[in-house]
Chains A and B, each alone.
Chain A
Amino acid sequence: MVKDLSVDLCGVHLKNPVIPASGTFGFGLELSDAFDLNLLGGISLKGTTREARYGNPTPRIAECEGGMINSVGLQNPGIDVLVDEKVPALRRVYGGCVIANISGFSLDEYRECCEKADACKGIDIIEVNISCPNVHNGGMAFGTSADSAAGVTAAVKSVCRKPVFIKLSPNVTDIVSIARACEDAGADGLSLVNTFLGMRIDIARRRPVIANKMGGFSGKAVFPVALRMVYQVAHACRIPVMGCGGVASASDVIEMMMAGATAVQVGAENLRNPYACPEIAEALPHLMEELGINSLKEIIGTV
């Protein structure tokens, strides 16, 4: 029997639930010579701010057991280049769901960037990053209290007609209260989780491995924690969730969906294996056959 992998995110149809996570897939085109991007249900583009940013000093990457730390610091060409150049170029080769990931350092910046993303024809969903651990006074600063998360949500919702997903930080005491605050403020969906604030020390040099001292930890090791948060949030909120955190296989995708995710983002695994997303999408129907699943939509939140 033909398996139905399609899912629906606030009216946006995805041929499958597999989405490379923001920051782990550039602006999509970087991978267009590696495989047919149309194998992907969606693509979440690299986090974008109002002005171009160089990002943090190097080293920006530290390897860990079962994962890695990154501190790229939102290197991006700015929102105007995103909507005028990056998205149109991607659209020439990709017909799936394009998700713009927006970050900022003030409510005004979030609002202005989201307004431009909303007006850009090639973008289907706006993902608002209030959880980047690698910049000061921005990103995660907005995502660690329910009030400020709701403030950003309301601000961007006032200028967007497209679905707005708020990307949540796991570096909080109660992710459910923040998720609910975003839902109450009008969010159409939630993406979770971003990376976990982490650190490594080079014991020979007696200094942090990462130039910015700390960074975001992600990779296989975070999967059980991310899954738990997706489960809690999906059961506490009515809006759809994109599950993210340590996903590395088709079975991880199924697990995330059973926990309540409507779509699933693959992050750090792309850095180990640039072909991870198409391989997972290809493996899903076989795993569904083994598990007796005909349509992925049937399993969302069934646990």
Chain B
Amino acid sequence: MKKEQYRIVRNKRIAPGTFELVLEGNGNVDGEFVHIAIPGFYLRRPLSICDKGPGSLTIVYKVVGKGTKVLSEMTEGTVLEILTGLGRGFDPDACRGEALLVGGGLGVPPLYLLAKELKARGKKVTAVLGFNKAEELILVPQFESICDAVTVSTVDGSVGVKGFVTDAIAGMDRSYDYFYTCGPMVMMKAVCRMVECPGEASLEERMGCGAGFCYGCSIETKNGPRRVCKDGPVFKKEELSW
């Protein structure tokens, strides 16, 4: 963990209530998420990393409350104090063959960096990305540019397969060696039950410290209590008591 200052380079609305935040700072950021201090709010906001490069960091977030609302109004040049090096992320080396990525809504962005890492290892990558409706689509062209196949589903059927990601997966006549999923808990549970191969899921829980010492975000797993912020947020399917 490190406490660092990052400057906002871009904070742009990319879908209703959804923003792409690009930050610039020193060095390379490790970890699955960053914990951002927002002036006027007592606790930090944990946000997943969507993409990163040398000294830069991209986060896609949704305005879900007062804190993220304030964040969405911050302008270029504003300096944010963030904690980096937090969380245990997806393991691209766990996939031996073909990978299936399943993202739902705001669960899509954290899979982007993973998709790049899998492709860098020469894996075949299929992505299934689910949204409520056409206007809420995010990052689909970016996934299309790096993945071998991308299927989009929307609940209202305005784009792609009508229904949930599970409906899209049911319509795909193939098997995979490993899956990675991030999205609403009900979606991830359904994916874990439906997809037969081993895989991992990125969980969400209300956090306190974000660094594993307050025990505010514990979940029960088959291996005993685990902290979402430190032992996760990514857990193997077989660890989860789903």
Which A residues are closer than 8 A to B by beta carbons? Answer: 23-26, 30-31, 33-34, 46, 54-55, 58-68, 70, 72, 75, 219-220, 270-275
Contacts and interface: CB of A to CB of B under 8 A. Distances in A.
Contact of B42 (A72, A270, A272): A272
A34 B42 contact: no
Given A54-B218, A58-B217, A75-B225, A274 B83 contact: yes
A282 B209 CA distance: 22
Contact of A58 (B41, B209, B218): B218
Given A30-B212, A31-B213, A68-B42, A61 B83 contact: no
A68 B213 contact: no
A46 B209 contact: no
A61 B211 contact: no
A26 B219 contact: no
B41 A63 contact: yes
A126 B43 CA distance: 30
B25 interface: no
Interface string B195-237: 0000000000111110111111111100001000010000000
Given A66-B42, A68-B208, A272-B44, A61 B216 contact: yes
Contact of B213 (A30, A70, A220): A30
Nearest to B44: A272
B2 to A, nearest CB: 8
Contact of B212 (A26, A61, A65): A26
A172 B1 CA distance: 39
Contacts of B3: 273-275
A59 B225 contact: no
Which 6 A-B pairs have CB atoms at the shortest separation, nearest pair first? A26-B213, A30-B213, A59-B206, A61-B216, A271-B209, A61-B208
A70 B42 contact: no
Contact of B220 (A23, A54, A62, A67): A54
A270 B212 CA distance: 12
A60 B211 contact: no
Contacts of A59: 205-206
26 contacts: A24-B214, A30-B213, A31-B213, A55-B215, A55-B218, A58-B206, A58-B216, A60-B216, A61-B206, A61-B208, A61-B214, A61-B216, A68-B43, A70-B214, A72-B214, A75-B215, A219-B42, A270-B214, A271-B43, A271-B209, A271-B214, A272-B43, A272-B44, A273-B37, A274-B83, A274-B209
A94 to B, nearest CB: 14
Contacts of A60: 206, 208, 215-218
A156 to B, nearest CB: 24
Contacts of B209: 24, 270-271, 274
Nearest to A29: B213
Contacts of B207: 61
Nearest to A64: B42
A274 B213 contact: yes
B225 A63 contact: no
Given A33-B1, A60-B206, A272-B37, A26 B42 contact: no
Given A24-B213, A219-B42, 14 more contacts: A24-B214, A26-B212, A26-B213, A30-B211, A30-B230, A33-B1, A55-B215, A59-B205, A60-B217, A61-B214, A70-B214, A75-B215, A271-B208, A274-B209
Interface string B39-63: 0011110000000000000000000
Contacts of A66: 42
A26 B214 contact: yes
Contacts of A31: 211, 213
A61 B43 contact: yes
B108 to A, nearest CB: 24
A65 B67 CA distance: 12
B45 to A, nearest CB: 10
B211 A34 contact: yes
A282 to B, nearest CB: 14
